[in-house]
Amino acid sequence: MNRPIYLDHHATTPIDKRVIDIMLPYFYEKFGNASSIDHVYGNEAVSAVNKAREQLAHDIGCHSEEIIFTSGATESDNLAIFGVARILKEKGNHIITCVTEHKAILDSCKQLENEGFNITYLKVNQDGEINLKELENVITPKTIMISIMAANNEVGTIAPLKQIGLIAHKNNILFHTDAAQSFGHIPLNVKELSIDLMSISAHKIGGPKGIGALYVSNDKPLVKIMPLIYGGGHEKGMRSGTLNVPGIVGLGEASRLAHEEMKITEIKLEKLRNKLYNGISSQCTVKINGNSKNKLNHNLNISFENIDAKALINEIKNELAVSTGSACNSNDVKPSHVLLSLGFDEERAFSSIRFGLGKTNTEEQIDFAITEIIKAVNKLSNL
C-alpha cells in the first residue's frame, strides 16, 4: 500500500487515468481555440467542447445549451448568486440560504448584504437538515432565490431537493443548489428536481482541477443572470474567456465515468464507510456528525471523545491523509461553522474528523486505517 493512505476525497480526488488519457491530445495535438472556427484546429476544439457539454447535459437531464463552463464550483456559486441577485434586484432583494452552506455561498451572500440585499440563513437540526415549513414561512414577496446545497461538504447530509424545488417554483422563486460534493455520487436530474441553477466541479469526481460548470435553466423558467466576467461574450455572454478545452474534455469524461459506474461505486463506498465506522467505534468512543442514514456514501464525519482532532491527525499524518473539514478552511483555527450550526459545542467540533472515501480505496486500506486510528487514539488517551 502507498502511504499515507488518502482518505480526503471531499477536498479533491486523484484524476482517473482514463480521464487523463482523453485530455492529453488537447494539450498538444488538438490545441485549437474553441472560438477559432475558421480552421480545423478550432473546429476540433469546438467539437470536443460540444461533446462534453452534451455529456453533462445527459447526466443531469437538461439541454446542452443550459451548461455554462466555469473554473469550478466556487465560480459557479458566485455566478449564480451575484448573477441572479443583480439582474433581479428590481424585482426583489431577498435570498434564502442555509447556515451550513459552503463559504462560496455564505461569503457571496455576506457581500450582497453589503449591497443592500436581505439574506435569510436557515438553521438546521443536529442531522444537518433544514425545516421545510420554516423555509416556506420566511418567503416574502421580495424573495428571488433559494440556494441550498445538494449535500453538505463536511457531514454529507443530503438535502430534500425535490421538495425545496417545488416550494421555490410554487412561489415563483429560483432554486440554486451547490452540487460540488454530490454530483457523480447521487442522481441529480435538474428538471425532475425543479432546480434552476446547479454548480458542478470536476475535481471531486476524478476530473481535473480548475474546471466546473453552472447549469442555467432556459426552460420554464428562463433564467437570466448578469455575468461576473466580461470580454468576448463566450458561453452565451454569461462567462467570457478562452475556454479551457482540455479541462472541459476532462470534466465531460469524468462525468461520464462517474454516472456510468455510480451504482457499483456507491455500493462499494457505503460498504467501506460502514466498515471504517464499525471498526473505529468498536474500540473508540465516537459520535457520528450529521445524518447517519440520509448522507453521501463516501462521507464519515465523527467526533472522538476527549481527543483533539488536530492532535490525532498529527499522530497519523505519516500513515493516513484525513482532515477536520472543508479544505477552504484548513488554515482556520476556528471550529467548523457546520458542526457549530448542528448545535454542537466547540469541544465536539474540535474533536471531529472528516473521512472522505474514494473509488480507489480498498478494504485492506480501511483495515489499516482502523488499526492506525485506534492506536493513535489509545496513545493520546494515555498522555
**Contact 324/308 with Cβ under 8 angstroms?**
no
Q: Which helix (H) or strand (E) holds 242?
A: none
Look up the CATH number of domain 17-260: 3.40.640.10
* CA atoms of 55 and 51, how far apart (whole Å): 6
Write out the chain's pLDDT in tens, 383 residues: 678 999 999 999 999 999 999 999 999 999 999 889 889 999 999 999 999 999 999 999 999 999 999 999 999 999 999 999 999 999 999 999 999 999 999 999 999 999 999 999 999 999 999 999 999 999 999 999 999 999 999 999 999 999 999 999 999 999 999 999 999 999 999 999 999 999 999 999 999 999 999 999 998 788 999 999 999 889 988 999 999 999 999 999 999 999 999 999 999 999 999 999 999 999 999 999 999 899 999 999 999 999 999 999 999 999 999 998 755 555 557 899 999 999 999 999 999 999 999 999 999 999 999 999 999 999 999 86
Edge-to-edge strand ranges of the sheet holding 299-304? 286-288, 299-304, 352-356
**Contact 158/294 with Cβ under 8 angstroms?**
yes
What length does the chain have? 383
Neighbouring C-alpha atoms within 13 Å toward the C-beta of 125? 8
3 state DSSP class of 183: strand
Q: Is 222 exposed, middle or buried (0-12, 13-18, 19+ CB in 10 A)?
A: exposed
pTM assigned to the model: 0.95
Nearest to 252 by CA among 184, 177, 189, 197: 184
* CA atoms of 191 and 178, how far apart (whole Å): 16
Q: Where are the domains of the chain?
A: 5-14+262-381, 17-260
Q: How far is CA 3 from CA 7, 266, 318, 332, in A?
A: 11, 24, 7, 26
Q: Do domains 5-14+262-381 and 17-260 have the same CATH topology?
A: no
Which grid coordinates are listed for 285? 468512543
Compute the radius of gyration of the chain from its Cα atoms.
Answer: 21
Neighbours of 254 (CB within 10 A): 30
**pLDDT at position 232, please?**
87
User: What are the pLDDT digits (tens) for 121-137?
Assistant: 999 999 999 999 999 99
* CA atoms of 125 and 119, how far apart (whole Å): 20
**pLDDT at position 138, please?**
98
Q: At what angle do helices 245-260 and 262-281 cross, to 10 degrees?
A: 70
* CA atoms of 369 and 121, how far apart (whole Å): 37
Query: For 5-14+262-381, which CATH class?
Result: alpha beta
Cross-strand pairs, 96: 120, 146
Which grid coordinates are listed for 348? 465536539
* CA atoms of 311 and 379, how far apart (whole Å): 11
Which residues are identified as catalytic? 328
* CA atoms of 219 and 57, how far apart (whole Å): 14
For residue 363, the one-letter residue type is E
Which grid coordinates are listed for 177? 443548489
Neighbours of 356 (CB within 10 A): 29
Q: In degrees rounded to 5, what are phi and psi of residue 315?
A: -70, -30
Which grid coordinates are listed for 334? 476556528
Q: What is the four-CA torsion angle of 127, 130, 134, 136, rounded to 10 degrees?
A: -150
Q: How far is CA 217 from CA 112, 174, 198, 233, in A?
A: 23, 10, 9, 18
Helix runs in the chain, H state only = 17-23, 25-28, 40-60, 73-87, 103-114, 132-138, 161-170, 245-260, 262-281, 309-316, 337-341, 346-350, 363-381
Cis status, amide bond into 221, omega within 30 of 0: yes
